[in-house]
Chain A
Amino acid sequence: MSMVVRVKQKQIAQLIAKGKRLDGRGLRDYREIKVEQGIIEKAEGSARVLLGKTEVMAGVKIETGEPFPDTPNEGVLTVNAELVPLASPTFEPGPPDENSIELARVVDRGIRESKAIDVEKLCISPGKKVFVIFVDIYVLNHDGNLIDASALAALAALLNTKMFTYEIEEDEVKIKPGYTSLPLRKHPIAVTLAKINDNLVVDPWLEEEQIMDARITITVDDDGNICALQKGGSGYFTPKQVFEAVQIAREKADELRKKLGW
């Protein structure tokens, strides 16, 4: 924890106890969200999401590969996250650390478990050849709540993804001119709440993240069902706080979905 934040810790917590936040938001408010799609021409799909000052880009690449032996009829989804060093003084170059792996896996779980992608439509030849969808999350500026920003960026990039049309000739994929969109069935939205002195706040920014006891991320599908959940941080939640967080997350997810038109 940086020295500045340690000094502000009491102030942040006291404000939150009064229902206010240092950046002027209410406890249940998201920062301003901006979504831009199709920003990388060479990627099959791409998007940039701004969540306040947090900036995350996601790119989708599609290749052909082998299916997993236990799901021979299904395409493969791979989500990876890079906390690139230019995004924060605390990020260092090198292989992905536990934070970037957790980030990628939480985003992955939301897309996978909600069955957002119709993976059976990505099968070319059962047991032999399928499409592999790579979603690469690139954090460009870290100002807190990377999970929600990354989940939005990943989904925005998938919605923007153009699949090349193809023909199968003797198990070989032949690319034809023209594109179709990726078969997306659901729009999972991740909502993260931080617990600060027994108060729950939505969309914690960096300074709140540094002083929070724990966080909880709830991914909600279009029907209001929960499709992924992850507690993080070294603190705890009471069961009551968990159920309250789920309720808040469902309302916020609904609100975001309407705002973004997904």
Chain B
Amino acid sequence: MSQKPEKLIDKKGLRLDGRKPDELRPIKIEVGALSNADGSAYIEQGKNKILAAVYGPKEVHPKHMALPDRMVLRCRYHMAPFSVQERKSPAPSRREIELSKVIREAVEPAIFMEYYPRTAIDVFVEVLQADGSTRCASITAASLALADAGIPMRDLVAACSAGKVDDTIVLDLMDTEDKVGSADVPVAFMPNLGVITLLQMDGILTPEEFEKTVNLAIEGCRKIYALQKEALRSKYISVKEVEE
């Protein structure tokens, strides 16, 4: 790891990459980035580069895993060996197994699970380059991939992190802020329903700081939600233009 920076916020109140505390990193989203998948999305958030693909609804293998009244949602979050500074072994780490679980539990409330009994949907997330808050960007992309696959959903799930660095509450933590900062709170939110589907925290926060951090993250989710809708719309608008 490179040297730890002395200060994460400068005298003008700006962060290492020049952002204001409540500013998101630049985000680029593409829906339908992969042709083989039933639905897919690609997101760049700062230096994060993440692909999500959805396969299904399809037959469940092994068969005994199938549920009679609802579908089975499976999720795999995986980081490419070259996605981080020091090569990461491609074998799934304990962190990746936990994240696969929380990402699944973050998108599941959005899906009408009972519409496809005895089937399975696979969500695959590949982190090609990681720069902090990858679980949030993964959820943002995964929910778009599900929508792109035509899975009936209650809402899109937008996710964003917030945290505390140098005694300031900031939005959308990048890698250094996550590692050196004093708290990290990833949040996934369904803006239309106003509910939280992922919430984790590590670090130390007072209850007041925690409330402020969660509320800031929710504001970030709302901004990302607008970008998600825009990205979905632009895929289908471009299809229309080809037809004409």
**A interface with B by C-beta (< 8 Å):** 69-70, 96, 98, 101-102, 104-105, 109, 112-115, 214, 216, 221, 224-239, 242-243, 246-247, 250
Contact = CB atoms under 8 A, between A and B. Distances in A.
B205 interface: yes
A225 B196 contact: no
Interface string B163-190: 0000000000000000000000100001
Interface of B: 1, 94-95, 97-98, 100-102, 104-105, 108-109, 185, 190, 193-207, 210-211, 214-215, 218
A121 B133 CA distance: 31
| Secondary structure of the A contact surface, majority rule | mixed
A237 B199 CA distance: 9
B109 A236 contact: yes
Given A228-B202, A233-B105, A236-B190, A243 B196 contact: no
Given A98-B101, A101-B98, A238 B196 contact: yes
A243 B202 CA distance: 16
Given A226-B204, A238-B195, A98 B210 contact: no
Given A101-B94, A234-B109, A216 B207 contact: no
Given A101-B94, A239-B196, A239-B214, A247 B202 contact: no
Given A229-B201, A239-B215, A246 B109 contact: no
Nearest to A227: B204
A92 B224 CA distance: 41
A114 B204 contact: yes
A230 B100 CA distance: 14
Given A102-B98, A105-B95, A226-B205, 4 more contacts: A98-B101, A227-B203, A230-B199, A242-B196
A104 B198 CA distance: 19
Given A101-B98, A233-B105, A239-B215, A216 B199 contact: yes
A98 B98 contact: yes
A250 B1 contact: no
A153 to B, nearest CB: 20
Nearest to B95: A105
Nearest to A246: B207
The 6 closest A-B pairs by CB, nearest first: A229-B201, A236-B195, A231-B199, A234-B108, A98-B101, A70-B1
Nearest to B106: A231
B207 to A, nearest CB: 6
Contact of B211 (A109, A216, A243): A243
Contacts of A232: 102, 105
